[in-house]
Structure 1
């Protein structure tokens, strides 16, 4: 990225509030004017901001108007103000502590971290730091803000979800992580603009950055995103009783101790091996009643631009009531020369036969997914004996849209377990909700609310989970659960004995339990929110 040429940060201060009658207990807006007499002070009400957006950023007005919460409009507008005017933006609940002259003329965007004690949301998502968007400085026209605004646009479909990751600090933090020109940003510790924690104490963070000797402002956290969840005594006691009932009724569970005895840790944690030659990949396709999808699924494999002489394809079929077995036999006969090898195996174990309308009933999930885990385990056991391979790509037979560079993208993540986002349509919501990241620790009340029939089955928007469509502002995220519609697994993982749990592990089963167990054993699965495969919408 080219070095930015700019006149530098101008002597302008921006603050915003709903109206021109701002509450006196929010901060000290007058301190910004008092300590910076030579600076232009620009106050923006919500009405002013909308006029500004309509005039200077009309292409974003639909999004500005579409946000359901005022803070999201304020977030987007502050990025646009700094892009257009430059200067210093400061939340209304801030207090200026010194002259801003040290910032004047700087050609970089000047940012500071939030206090280190508040970095957990960023670190859970695989980022190094949480950057503070309550006070920022910038020259006008800096392209960094284009990146921030682009991420806001990308996350607009999730606008009614978490503010932090639709317009707030996590969006800013992702833009910093992805920015490739370190000379264009002046990054500093929290002391510069936000040296006080949400609890009102000095952060005590080590000082570093271009302005390590300077404290320019403090933030009072009057509009903090950080909330405490504290259920009542009654609900805590009720949750304890439900937890006891759960443990007594569903006693068939896989413990970490028992699971770890089945895994050879020395093999599981071997470092990834680099080779000048493309790795061998075996595509594993479990199939039952897949007649309508097999040809289209095969067509997607044939169009992959990965060297076909390094791809093996192995089908596992069992229990089909249609022509799936015959079609697979024909595919193997016709296309054996299109890949390094092709084959099929009959699976004797699998999920119970269910009508399509029954497949998602909660009371059937434990038996259904246990059967799917059995089929997967039998297929990988056969594959390990069948051909030597470096990687295994699990692919459902009804996945009918693959990027041509799918394998390159998955292997480039350099992780032993990698999941793309499985969708029904491009950039639509995630279809495979078994891929998720835990972003909080639910208390016993929350856990028991969604434990049913021996498994945790929360709704898609439960507060402590993020699915890949929630994380599209990031290119790479750690995961807890993984889905099996498309999943690449390094051979070391399966050779070490790690299989898909057939009984619940941590109240999860099959691929979800596989991901969580791998993570607990030291192999963190990785999700790629912006690499998408398409599932048939039947």
Structure 2
């Protein structure tokens, strides 16, 4: 009589064979499946709909921006939110559907408060009546803190100018390089503390058909019960021999700042060129510009003019921008009798 081991051997052989066949089938099946996945052509990337054409030769920045439906990008670095600035902005009578807005804010507690108010204002406007909405709104946060106090005294102290203006230049460069698109004809740099301009600001400035043009920035104040105005921004000027000689004796990293007794440049300031009752459309060539209300043809930035955050011919930020643009072949102009007004702290 066969032993138990002898009797179970055929069953063991059958079982092992069956398991082996199952494993072999699984491996072959998996191999075929994997092979099919590997040789299957990848899904088409892009396609005709992903290709965009921009005929830049047909893009204009003319003296008739409204008639030609030219798009304007208004850019504003913000640390404090002023209601007066926002109200003035939305009261500009250039069609809002032709305007894109861009804002940039630094890190920090004060900027956190500003961005909350800005968000509320933007959301209210962009969900309101369609005729009041802007084409688009971009809000950026810097990856660095504001290196200076926002009090007027601290902002304008000579000792803080190099660091402050360099930081502002970085913010401006980040803002325009991120928000400009192929359809933009003009860029209006409008500071967050400009609280009063003509409603026709864009059309008025563009009508001069200059590559770079800046308004004269003043400030309203009350003196002994009487309303008066005074010059505010001194960064728009015509150069002088005194400033040129000063620059020749400076080190590579030194910068000339306008409006300080310690640096007597004797430049001719746009602020001092204003004449009451004179032609509001008078224009003068300038060598440095402020950016309180600065209109620039987009091609100037596209050609490489930026706001230097480093000493550029002993200039920084907007004044350095005018110098760089001039070396690219673009002359800046100022409007001595066309006024915009700065917030009075």
Give me the TM-score of the superposition, normalised by structure 1. Answer: 0.45
CA pair 430-520 structure 1, distance change in 2 beyond 3 A: farther
> Which residue number corresponds to residue 512 of structure 1?
319
- How far the C-alpha of 1:358 sits from its partner, in A, is 2.6
Residue 468 of structure 1 corresponds to 270
CA 1:355–1:314 in structure 2 vs 1: closer, same or farther (change >3 Å)? Answer: closer
CA distance in 2, matches of 1:445, 1:388: 43
Q: Secondary structure at the match of 2:287?
A: coil
Please, which of 97, 105, 114 is the counterpart of residue 309 of structure 1? 97
CA distance in 1, matches of 2:168, 2:248: 25
Structure of higher CA gyration radius = 2
Secondary structure of the residue aligned to 2:165 is: helix
Report the Cα distance in structure 2 between the residues aligned to 1:458 and 1:285, rounded to whole angstroms. 22
Describe the SS at the equivalent of 2:119. Answer: helix
Q: Aligned partners of 2:297 and 2:145: how far apart in 1?
A: 24
1:378 aligns with 2:178: no
Conservation of the 8 A alpha-carbon contact between 2:213 and 2:295: yes
Instruction: Measure how far apart 1:445 and its partner are.
Output: 5.7
What is the aligned counterpart of 2:73 among 282, 289, 295? Answer: 282
1:468-507 equivalence runs, <5 A? 468-473=270-275, 475-507=282-314
**Distance verdict in 2 for CA 1:520–1:452, change over 3 Å:** closer
The answer for the alignment partner of 1:442 in structure 2 is 242
* Residues 305 and 328 in structure 2, CA contact (< 8 A), matched pair in contact too: no
CA contact (8 A) 1:421 1:530 kept: yes
Question: Conserved in 2, the CA contact under 8 Å of 1:282 and 1:391?
Answer: yes
How many Å separate the matches in 1 of 2:106 and 2:87?
Answer: 22
CA distance in 2, matches of 1:449, 1:530: 35
- Map of 1:456 onto structure 2: 256
Please report how far the alpha carbon of residue 448 of structure 1 lies from its aligned counterpart in structure 2 after TM superposition. Answer: 7.2
SS of 2:174 mapped into structure 1: helix
1:459 CA displacement: 3.8
Contact 2:211 2:332 in 1 (8 A): yes
**Alpha-carbon contact 2:308-2:316 (below 8 Å) kept:** yes
Counterpart-to-counterpart distance in 1, 2:338 and 2:233: 13
Q: Is the 8 A contact 2:148 2:155 kept in 1?
A: no
CA distance in 2, matches of 1:380, 1:277: 23
Seen in structure 2, the aligned counterparts of structure 1 residues 450 and 424 have a Cα distance that, compared at 3 Å, is farther
Higher strand share: 2
Contact 1:315/1:328 (CA < 8 Å) preserved in 2?
Answer: no
Map of 2:44 onto structure 1:
none
User: Which structure exhibits the higher relative contact order, with contacts defined as CA atoms closer than 8 Å and separated by 6 or more residues?
Assistant: 2
How many residue pairs match? The answer is 265
CA contact (8 A) 1:421 1:528 kept: yes
- The answer on whether the counterparts of 1:451 and 1:457 sit within 8 Å (CA) in structure 2 is no
In 2, Cα distance between equivalents of 1:419 and 1:443: 21
Alpha-carbon distance in 1 for matches of 2:244, 2:201: 40
Q: CA RMSD in A?
A: 2.8
After TM superposition, give the deviation of residue 463 of structure 1 in Å: 6.2
Is contact 1:350–1:374 with CA below 8 Å preserved after alignment? no
Residues 443-462 of structure 1: CA deviation (Å, up to 9, x unaligned): 77655799997111354685
Please say if 1:421 is aligned against 2:216. Answer: yes
The gaps in structure 1 that reach 5 residues or longer are 1-266
Query: Is 2:86 the counterpart of 1:330?
Result: no
4+ long deviations beyond 4 Å: 270-275, 443-453, 460-463
Q: Deviation string for 1:428-477 (max 9, x for gaps)?
A: 33311111112x32277655799997111354685641122322257101
Counterpart Cα distance in 2 of 1:272 and 1:312: 15
Relative distance call for 1:305 and 1:443 in structure 2 (3 A) is closer
Q: 1:379 to 1:442 in 2, by over 3 A?
A: same
Question: Aligned pair in 2 of structure 1 residues 443, 482: CA closer, same or farther (>3 Å)?
Answer: closer
Distance 1:495 1:328, change over 3 A: same
Pairing partner for 1:362 from 134, 158, 179: 158
1:524 to 2:331 alignment: yes
Change (3 A) 1:443 1:352: closer
